[in-house]
Amino acid sequence: MDTITPGTTGRKPECETLSVPEAGARYFGLSRNGSYEAAARGQLPTIRIGRLIRVPIRALEKMLDRAGEAA
Domain locations in the chain as residue ranges: 17-70
pLDDT at 42: 95
CA dihedral of residues 54, 59, 60, 64 (deg, nearest 10) = -170
pTM (2 decimals)? 0.74
CA-closest candidate to residue 60, choices 49, 50, 46? 46
- Summarize pLDDT for 15-34 with one digit per residue, the tens: 899 999 999 999 999 999 99
53: helix, strand or coil: strand
Q: List average pLDDT for each run of 10 residues in the chain, which is 71 residues long.
A: 55 82 97 98 96 96 88 62
pLDDT at 5: 55
